[in-house]
């Protein structure tokens, strides 16, 4: 019974896994002010070496954009995450993207969500540099980042939630 009270006082954290095999870097390096200035929220930039986007958390898919260049998912704790491949890729109208998920689907960290053609993105869009943005900062107390070269399911963000 006393353990129940102790658990309520413990800090609640969410670990966000790498959405790619490649590298994760500071979001300020993204060549788009909407993302680099954290206008939509805090997060990381990433660059995939294999053209596959993986689920960074267990959660529900809230939206897959019709152009398949972005999606939003929500954790059971209520954290919403935007994953956006490249900059100005909406103009590609889905060319070079394939989705393996849909709105309402439950996913586990590491599940394949999208594939994308890096060479085509580099040729047709501003850049293939991509972002993971945590869009609801009001429930977050603090954020820690583990940046650098990453493999699928490496821990890249640790979020401590407000009590």
Alpha-carbon distance of 115 to 24, in angstroms, equals: 18
Record the tokens describing residue 114, joined without a space: 């999208």
69 is catalytic: no
Query: Counting Cβ atoms within 10 Å, is residue 123 exposed (0-12), middle (13-18) or buried (19+)?
Result: exposed
162 in helix, strand or coil?
coil
| Catalytic site residue from 51, 72, 84, 96 | 84
Record the tokens describing residue 83, joined without a space: 């994953």
Which residues participate in catalysis according to the annotation?
84
């Amino acid at each position: 019974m006393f353990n129940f009270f102790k658990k309520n006082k413990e800090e609640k954290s969410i670990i966000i896994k790498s959405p790619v095999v490649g590298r994760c870097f500071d979001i300020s390096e993204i060549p788009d002010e909407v993302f680099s200035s954290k206008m939509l929220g805090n997060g990381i930039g990433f660059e995939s070496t294999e053209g596959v986007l993986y689920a960074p958390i267990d959660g529900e898919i809230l939206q897959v954009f019709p152009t398949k260049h972005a999606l939003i998912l929500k954790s059971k704790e209520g954290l919403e995450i935007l994953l956006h491949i490249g900059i100005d890729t909406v103009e590609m109208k889905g060319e070079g993207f394939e989705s393996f998920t849909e709105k309402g689907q439950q996913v586990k960290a590491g599940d394949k969500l999208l594939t994308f053609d890096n060479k085509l993105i580099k040729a047709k869009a501003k850049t293939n540099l991509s972002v993971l943005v945590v869009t609801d900062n009001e429930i977050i107390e603090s954020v820690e980042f583990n940046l650098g070269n990453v493999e699928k399911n490496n821990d890249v963000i640790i979020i401590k939630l407000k009590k």
